[in-house]
Amino acid sequence: VNRTLVRLLLDREQELRERHGISFRITGVATRRLGWIADPDGLDQAALLALSSDELPNPTRAEPALSGTEGTLAPHHPEPRDNVRDWLSAAHADVLFEATALNLESGQPAVDHIRAALEHGAHAITANKGPIVHAYRELRDLATAQGKRFLFESTVMDGVPVFSLFPQLPLIHLQGFHGILNSTTNVILSEMENGLSFDESLKKAQALGIAETDATHDIDGWDAAVKTAALITVLMDVPVKLDEIQSEGIGGLSGEAVRAGRKEDRPYKLICRVKKTASGITASVRPEQIPLTDPMAQIAGTSSYIYFETDIFPGLAITEENPGLYATAYGMLADFVRAVRPDISLR
């Protein structure tokens, strides 16, 4: 994600300056391979561009994470905590872009990185869902205390402003939601409907760059469950543990079953469902057969969908169709603008 973000930032540099009065320098990059690089005067852009295209051929092994006089990055694997602090100081970081891989159990090292950034006095922007599930309240309150922002729009629906929508819905009471939030399984199900086996579909999703080399979290439903937990935590203000979400993946579905479902006009989809109850919430992630009259039946490939149930709007749904290459990195860029130009919503 952060490699794409570097390209997107450089691509939109002029527009950021002219439309929003934002200028930035990338003053730090940290990856498992490169270590902790910092230069408060700004890293060389040509080198960054090279790094963002060829130098790091395996994005799962080396996610750069940026910092700067607006801009900073964090590493892919746990490192002694002092490294982050020293690096943030050396980079004179005003903003940390955190994009380490999801750790289901603890949210680490992302939680430590974000905490360090906020304590350092930088905004913290993450594409990692783990910290929301494991440390949302702490990080939110720390950000408030520091007068900085903790933002994570790109964690659900590739940067479509789902989290940012709700402050625009003051006094609304969210009573539940359902949707399709995991691209990898949705691509696999679409390909299985088209005649491929499960393994062939997974390989195709991997070849397209949608699924990671290890797609276990997607297939088992955990990626969708963590997104569901993040939405519950932030939008319903109900702290929820992952094991409170009944999760079932798509590994048990045969190609025959998937094709028969589509043929009967009751296609299989991996559906997240949440309902508010008197005592809290009920939540599930599981494959369901849904009728063609439900808009979810048409959500194919990398598209995603969420349907919110609220008191004023009984059904308010957002569809993201065929996100572009930049969609996830865009969520981080938009968070960057939100963080450094909070007056943007007054335009």
Give residues in contact with its own copies (CB under 8 A). Answer: 12, 15-16, 19-20, 149, 159-161, 164-165, 167-171, 292-293, 295, 298, 303, 307, 311-324, 326-327, 330, 333-334, 337-338, 341-347
**Which two tokens mark 26?**
């990338």
Nearer CB in complex with its own copies: 106/319: 319
Alpha-helical (H) ranges within 246-308 are 255-263
Nearer CB in complex with its own copies: 44/313: 313
DSSP letter, residue 171: T
Least distance in angstroms from the C-beta of 160 to its own copies: 6
Least distance in angstroms from the C-beta of 308 to its own copies: 10
Nearer CB in complex with its own copies: 204/341: 341
**Which two tokens mark 266?**
């009751």
Least distance in angstroms from the C-beta of 146 to its own copies: 13
Least distance in angstroms from the C-beta of 165 to its own copies: 7
Classify each residue of 224-247 as buried b or exposed e, where b means 16 or more C-beta atoms within 10 Å of its C-beta. bbbbbbbbbbbbbeeebebebbeb
Least distance in angstroms from the C-beta of 167 to its own copies: 5
Which helix (H) or strand (E) element contains residue 113?
helix 110-120
Least distance in angstroms from the C-beta of 195 to its own copies: 19
d(CA 217, CA 31): 23
Contacts of 94 (CB under 8 A, 6+ apart): 67, 68, 69, 70, 71, 72, 122, 123, 340
d(CA 147, CA 134): 22
Nearer CB in complex with its own copies: 62/125: 125
Nearer CB in complex with its own copies: 186/303: 303
Nearer CB in complex with its own copies: 16/56: 16
Classify each residue of 45-55 as buried b or exposed e, where b means 16 or more C-beta atoms within 10 Å of its C-beta. eeebeebbeeb
Nearer CB in complex with its own copies: 114/334: 334
Least distance in angstroms from the C-beta of 317 to its own copies: 4
> What is the dihedral sign for C-alpha 59, 29, 76, 114?
negative
